[in-house]
Amino acid sequence: MTHFYRPAEGHRLPHDPFNAIVGPRPIGWIGTLDVEGRRNLAPYSFFNALNYLPPLVGFSSNAWKDTVANCQATGEFTWNLVTRTLAEQMNASATTAEVDEFDVAGLEVGESSEIAAPRVAASPVNFECRVTQIIDLRTASGEASGSWFVVGEVVGVHIEDSLLVEGTFDTAAAQPVLRAGGPSAYFGIEVAQKFDMLRPD
């Protein structure tokens, strides 16, 4: 037996399984400035790396929010790694109130090297990004979905030295927080879950 549904007709479950199946997902904790220099920080659960060289990352917003507007206006954003110790502050920055989320979440602002958009100073990894595309996501029939996909080229990378072990980034030691399904589920990564596998020639 399988549970089959057509998304347009509803999933008939307590919570939409789509984002739980495609997961756990890295969190796009995105820092921006508006044209007047006001800071914005917001988490996006639809985020990922898209390309090696040039390094591209992207996040999807389910509406035209301040973050997308700032990306369009300034052409810049930062991505900040959410760790277990920063999870509650990340959650606090998810507010929809017109406030400075850095202040609300009690986060120190880090200056970027290549762009003006702010970094989360306490995050052990930050990407400085320049916007390459803002895509109006469409349905199969060509209708607007109401969501926007922002792609950025990573032009600067900050990594805490302790996370580089013999030149390799230690993913488990960074304790990244990953978004899962339902209203409140998140995951972490543990060393015990690691396995190695080489691609065939």
Task: Note the pLDDT tens digit of each residue in 142-167.
Answer: 999 999 999 999 999 999 999 999 99
Q: CA angle 108-130-57, nearest 5°?
A: 85
Which residues, in sequence order, are bridge partners of residue 49? 57
Span 184-194, pLDDT tens digits: 999 999 999 99
Kindly state the average pLDDT of the residues 19-44.
94
Q: How far is residue 29's CA from residue 90's CA, in Å, rounded to a whole number? A: 7
> Hey, CA dihedral for 47, 185, 187, 111, is it positive or negative?
positive
Nearest to 125 by CA among 13, 201, 16, 26: 26
Of 95-104, 108-117, 124-133, 136-145, give the lowest mean pLDDT range.
95-104
Residue 199 DSSP class: P
The pTM is what? 0.94
pLDDT at position 96: 86
- Domains of the chain by start residue, with CATH: 26-182 (2.30.110.10)
pLDDT at position 83: 98
Answer whether 66's CB lies under 8 Å from 30's CB: no
Which residues, in sequence order, are bridge partners of residue 149? 60, 135
DSSP, collapsed to helix, strand or coil, labels residue 149 as strand
Contacts of 29 (CB under 8 A, 6+ apart): 41, 42, 43, 44, 79, 80, 81, 82, 90, 93, 120, 123
Nearest to 24 by CA among 147, 189, 197, 149: 189
Span 61-106, pLDDT tens digits: 999 999 999 999 999 999 999 999 999 999 999 998 889 999 999 9
Q: How far is residue 131's CA from residue 46's CA, in Å, rounded to a whole number? A: 17
Which residue has 């800071």 as its token pair? 39
pLDDT at position 19: 86
Answer whether 56's CB lies under 8 Å from 43's CB: no
Q: How far is residue 135's CA from residue 147's CA, in Å, rounded to a whole number? A: 9
Of 16-30, 47-61, 123-137, give the lowest mean pLDDT range.
16-30
pLDDT score of 181 more than 90: no
pLDDT category of residue 21 using cuts at 50, 70 and 90: confident
